[in-house]
């Protein structure tokens, strides 16, 4: 795939995803970064995408899995929004495109990517898309086993 993979070692304990990206962002000579969580099993295929003017992120959302019934964000006409009280939204897939400058902006200092993205959603600075295909958050032994079974299946690719 002609990929270069860089690792950010978190000495002294976990930094949080946003802080990990912040520490690695200067290693890339790019205006945008494509980020996918390492604990996601999916058939999602990235597409060429230009971020809209004034937007600093584009997230991929998925229908809510059983372990996340309420979801994380609202979605309307290609825009990411905050969840309203009692509203069911969609779940953040752990897949996003971000302007590298976002992680240098002193207005966004949270180490937690979820907190940072919720701020962007509230400010109308993030677009989104919905992936309806295969997606598993491999956050438990049971979901890891499910992903292993799917990966071994001849129809998974």
pLDDT in tens, 45-96: 988 888 988 999 999 999 999 988 889 999 999 999 998 877 789 999 999 9
pLDDT, tens digit (0-9, with 9 covering 90-100), for 20-32: 888 888 788 889 9
What pLDDT does 8 receive? 67
In this prediction, what percent of the chain has a pLDDT beyond 90? Answer: 57
In this prediction, what percent of the chain has a pLDDT beyond 70? Answer: 96
At 93, is the secondary structure helix, strand, or coil?
strand
Interatomic CA distance for residues 51 and 46, integer angstroms: 14
Residues 6+ positions from 30 with CB-CB distance below 8 Å: 100
The CA–CA distances, whole Å, from 154 to 120, 132, 137, 149 equal 40, 20, 21, 10
What pLDDT does 49 receive? 80
The CA–CA distances, whole Å, from 109 to 64, 79, 134, 146 equal 28, 23, 32, 36
């Amino acid at each position: 795939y002609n990929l270069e993979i860089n690792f950010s070692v978190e000495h002294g304990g976990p930094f949080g995803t946003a802080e990990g990206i912040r520490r690695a962002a200067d290693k890339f000579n790019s205006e945008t970064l494509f980020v996918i969580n390492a604990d996601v099993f999916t058939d999602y295929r990235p597409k060429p995408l230009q971020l809209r003017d004034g937007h600093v992120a584009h997230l991929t959302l998925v229908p809510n899995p059983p372990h996340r019934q309420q979801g994380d964000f609202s979605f309307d006409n290609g825009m990411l929004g905050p969840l309203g009280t009692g509203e069911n939204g969609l779940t953040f897939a752990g897949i996003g495109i971000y302007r590298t400058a976002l992680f240098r902006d002193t207005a966004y200092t949270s180490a937690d990517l979820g907190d940072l993205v919720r701020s962007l959603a509230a400010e109308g600075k993030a677009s989104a898309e919905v992936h309806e295909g295969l997606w598993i958050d491999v956050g438990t032994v049971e979901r890891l086993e499910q992903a292993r079974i799917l990966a071994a299946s001849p129809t998974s690719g």
